[in-house]
Structure 1
Amino acid sequence: MSSSTALLTDHYELTMLASALRDGTAHRECTFEVFTRRLPNGRRYGVAGGIGRVLDAVENFRFGDAEIAQLAEHGVVDERTLEWLRDYRFSGQIDGYPEGELFFPGSPLLTVRGTFAEAVVLETVVLSILNHDSAIAAAAARMVSAANGRRIIEMGSRRTHEESAVSAARIAYLAGFSGTSNLEAGRRYGIPTTGTAAHAFTLLHDDERSAFESQIAALGTDTTLLVDTYDISRGIDVAVEVAGTGLGAVRIDSGDVGVLARQAREQLDSLGATNTRVVVSGDLDEYAIASLRAEPVDGYGVGTSLVTGSGAPTAEMVYKLVEVEGRPVFKRSSHKESRGGRKAAIRRYKDTGTAVEEVVHVVGAGAEPELGPNDRRLQIPLIRDGKRVDDLPTLEEGRERLRRALVSLPWEGLKLSNGEPAIPTVFHEA
């Protein structure tokens, strides 16, 4: 992360900082909490995504010479605040849900403790990462569930901001996607990359056969040939003629892909290419994927709906002050109420492993809920004294955590239709 990321701080955060430095409240010890009051319409669970990127952002959050000069030139804050920002380093504590964990309304997804000054300037960067990545994670998890074990590839780089594309690929992999077409995500995060040619490659050549011959010569017969540039039936014939019955896959990117996939499967089998996979793409979302369950589809390529959160581009998280010098504080604004005090959460399970409720409680209130034999604490230490703790869960471990978490939901919690959160959030009163 470059130092310029510090300017993701909003103007109003620096206004509060400057005022607090002037009146002496900037150094009060505070607790901020990230949570959502509700899940997006149609969602029955949220998925914690972007935790690792938040830790990177906090560790590297700096105001360098260029950022200070920008603020000074435009008179954003006074000289005292500029001097404070020059030396900014987060030295506090952060706890939170590990990446890949499920969350629900009121879940204390992230808890940031430090002085008001050093914690308040992190609000925008923390929320921008968590709102984006958690929205993508929830959409991707729904798609993976709908695919019911079939492979899904992320291929939405052309449908979003160039940096968002990389983080979307990362979080889709966390949610269970098999890989991505985004090579920078592969380089940065070690995610498997894959891809095939577009229609432009076929159109470049004098005929479809020449295009297929060129791709096979370059990549071998295990590649995927795009067969719907002209006529799908003829395209499949040519593909098998060129590659033989060992062709890896054919891709269909337009039309009624369910019907076309069925026809493609029958045609491939009749040609002896019984192991050639059928991959479909083209404006797929979780509903379209679910509708294709009965069709002979071996894999999906998903782009636009994934990188836009499939209709819910934000997880609707907020970053709220809940404690000052050990004293609970809270809002009373209509429809935007908050609960005071630093909080943690426990998830309760049946003996069978099915989750039944999320219990949110104030830390240190003297009457924390008793931990049952099947219960699990959800928050883990992430940063201590400004430094990332050792042995935090990896991306692969987060991927496995989410897989297990989805299995633990009551069956109705995986429905794609509108409904209540999969498990209720209960606020434990001391």
Structure 2
Amino acid sequence: MSGSPSSAGVSTALLTDRYELTMVAAALADGTAKRHCVFEVFARRLPEGRRYGVVAGTGRLLESIERFRFGEQELRTLADVVDRETLDWLADYRFSGDVDGYPEGELYFPGSPILTVSGAFADTVVLETLALSVLNYDSAVASAASRMVTAAAGRPIIEMGSRRTHEAAAVAAARATYLAGFAATSNLEAERRHGIPTAGTAAHAFVLLHDDELGAFKSQVATLGADTTLLVDTYDIRRGIELAIEAAGPGLGAVRIDSGDLGELARQARDQLDALGAKNTRIVLSGDLDEYAIASLRAEPVDSYGVGTSVVTGSGAPTAGLVYKLVEVDDKPVAKRSAAKESRGGRKSTLRRYKPTGTAIEEVVHPVASPPKMGPHDRVVPIPLMRGGEQVAGLSTLEESREHLRAALVSVPWEGLKLSRGEPAIATVFEDGNR
């Protein structure tokens, strides 16, 4: 048992639950490990109050699957978990199956098969925890961020939630929010790893460091230039704005307000800035904002927003509620029948129907072998993602996925973009293939 080296980067093999490997051990022992299986990832329902979900994390997941290899260190960790036969199998493990799924940046609805993983049972079952860990978090964040982007109505949003979540989740959240349409992130690792634009200037601590507010502002302007953003609510906001313009002149880039009655303060700030001749100085608001707060500020003179805690925690829905279920064994449908957690057997695909105007009207989930008749404006949603354990060439970049989501949201019926509670934006129809 030499242990296969991991592919480029750190192994992801232990980002899993123990029971995934004990199932493999039992299947190897009883001879079922090689049975051909199909697993599907889907949500039985959307989080409370949501009209749609956003598929995010697919790119991260595919890279993680390629790095799901058991090297010497991983095998030593598992020496007391599984038997020698299983350790030998893990030493040579490399996912060699196929993955299909919704493109990253696609919308999904209850029952949408957003990811399909096929191959031998042992090869595919071990990916359950990894797939759900990535997709549940990233999709939850992207879904929340998408609602915020819609509420902002074209005003830029900066993601600034790194201090409110795990350090690794912070990078994933920055990627998911950018996919959803945020303009930038405060997280530098997200820029290094994913090329996401970063933004940020100074916190209240910088103002408090100096003997007076004017000195802090002058120092920041001297270093970052007059186009910087000055945080004006450390003491008195009106006085802070006055000193900000004294320090930078009427060409100051922006002022940021991080507390208080943000709508009223934005109006007062705009009037004061205009009176001081700083008519082009922007107003940035932050401080416990979510999609509802942003929507309430739509009529105010706000130029951009900073959002932290709410978006990195999914704005009340920290998981997308996705599950990874076995639906087919040796080409025969299988399904869980418990009343509370029922699933539909057999490998499935999806056809999304559209009006001639481009408005989506229906999500048709059907057996792969029995596709419904396509209309002239309909579209098959899933695409090939991996073949033989290798990523398919030509998959979308993060920028392309960002544009895909923008276009997908344009297709949603207007009532499906409301923040109020209601039914999913479009209905999911399940066809059994006998029609």
TM-score scaled by structure 2?
Answer: 0.97
What does residue 406 of structure 1 align with?
409
User: Shift in Å at residue 404 of structure 1?
Assistant: 0.9
User: Shift in Å at residue 3 of structure 1?
Assistant: 4.3
What does residue 392 of structure 2 align with?
389
Matched to 2:39, the amino acid is F
User: Shift in Å at residue 371 of structure 1?
Assistant: 1.1
What does residue 245 of structure 1 align with?
250
Structure 2 CA distance for aligned equivalents of residues 268 and 151 of structure 1: 20
What does residue 22 of structure 1 align with?
29
* Kept in 2: contact 1:31–1:112 (CA 8 A): yes
User: Shift in Å at residue 196 of structure 1?
Assistant: 1.8
What does the per-residue CA deviation read over 1:51-104, in whole Å, with 9 as the maximum and x for residues that have no partner? Answer: 0001001111111111111111xx211110011001110001000001100000
What does residue 40 of structure 1 align with?
47
Question: Is 1:333–2:338 an aligned residue pair?
Answer: yes
Find the partner of 2:259 among 245, 248, 254. 254
Find the partner of 1:305 among 305, 310, 325. 310
* 1:242-321 matches, cutoff 5 A: 242-321=247-326
* Kept in 2: contact 1:17–1:81 (CA 8 A): yes
What does residue 161 of structure 1 align with?
166
What does residue 329 of structure 2 align with?
324
What does the per-residue CA deviation read over 1:27-73, in whole Å, with 9 as the maximum and x for residues that have no partner? Answer: 0111000000000001000000000001001111111111111111x
What does residue 154 of structure 2 align with?
149
User: Shift in Å at residue 194 of structure 1?
Assistant: 0.5
Find the partner of 1:122 among 122, 127, 133. 127
Moved over 6 A (4+): none
What does the per-residue CA deviation read over 1:260-296, in whole Å, with 9 as the maximum and x for residues that have no partner? Answer: 0110000000001000000000000000000000110
Find the partner of 1:370 among 367, 373, 377. 373
Find the partner of 1:58 among 58, 65, 69. 65
What does residue 426 of structure 1 align with?
429
Matched to 1:222, the amino acid is D
Structure 2 CA distance for aligned equivalents of residues 222 and 378 of structure 1: 44
What does the per-residue CA deviation read over 1:353-379, in whole Å, with 9 as the maximum and x for residues that have no partner? Answer: 110000001111xx3201110001100
* Kept in 2: contact 1:3–1:63 (CA 8 A): no
* Kept in 1: contact 2:11–2:67 (CA 8 A): no
Structure 2 CA distance for aligned equivalents of residues 358 and 139 of structure 1: 21
Distance 1:4 1:368, change over 3 A: closer
User: Shift in Å at residue 163 of structure 1?
Assistant: 0.6
Structure 2 CA distance for aligned equivalents of residues 319 and 358 of structure 1: 20
What does the per-residue CA deviation read over 1:155-212, in whole Å, with 9 as the maximum and x for residues that have no partner? Answer: 0000000010001001100000000010110111111101120000000001011100
Question: Is 1:220–2:225 an aligned residue pair?
Answer: yes
* Kept in 1: contact 2:12–2:65 (CA 8 A): no
Structure 2 CA distance for aligned equivalents of residues 125 and 37 of structure 1: 19
Structure 1 CA distance for aligned equivalents of residues 45 and 38 of structure 2: 21
User: Which runs of 5 or more structure 2 residues have no equivalent in the other structure?
Assistant: 1-7
What does residue 198 of structure 2 align with?
193
Matched to 1:272, the amino acid is G
* Kept in 2: contact 1:343–1:361 (CA 8 A): yes
Structure 1 CA distance for aligned equivalents of residues 55 and 351 of structure 2: 15
Find the partner of 2:383 among 380, 386, 394. 380
User: Shift in Å at residue 125 of structure 1?
Assistant: 0.5
User: Which runs of 5 or more structure 1 residues have no equivalent in the other structure?
Assistant: none
Calculate percent identity across the aligned residue pairs: 72
Structure 1 CA distance for aligned equivalents of residues 216 and 168 of structure 2: 32
User: Shift in Å at residue 429 of structure 1?
Assistant: 2.1
Structure 1 CA distance for aligned equivalents of residues 207 and 16 of structure 2: 47
User: Shift in Å at residue 428 of structure 1?
Assistant: 1.4
- Residue 136 of structure 2 aligns to a residue in which SS? helix
Structure 2 CA distance for aligned equivalents of residues 184 and 38 of structure 1: 33
* Kept in 2: contact 1:268–1:274 (CA 8 A): yes
- Residue 284 of structure 1 aligns to a residue in which SS? coil
* Kept in 2: contact 1:285–1:306 (CA 8 A): yes
What does residue 106 of structure 1 align with?
111
User: Shift in Å at residue 11 of structure 1?
Assistant: 1.0
Instruction: Tell me the C-alpha RMSD between the 2 structures.
Output: 0.8
* Kept in 2: contact 1:3–1:64 (CA 8 A): no
Matched to 2:98, the amino acid is Q
Find the partner of 1:236 among 225, 238, 241. 241
Structure 1 CA distance for aligned equivalents of residues 119 and 222 of structure 2: 59
Matched to 2:21, the amino acid is L
User: Shift in Å at residue 4 of structure 1?
Assistant: 4.6
- Residue 8 of structure 1 aligns to a residue in which SS? coil
* Kept in 1: contact 2:285–2:302 (CA 8 A): yes
- Residue 78 of structure 2 aligns to a residue in which SS? helix
* Kept in 1: contact 2:171–2:187 (CA 8 A): yes
* Kept in 2: contact 1:9–1:124 (CA 8 A): yes
User: Shift in Å at residue 5 of structure 1?
Assistant: 2.3
Structure 2 CA distance for aligned equivalents of residues 59 and 291 of structure 1: 44
What does the per-residue CA deviation read over 1:388-421, in whole Å, with 9 as the maximum and x for residues that have no partner? Answer: 0111011111111111111111111011111110
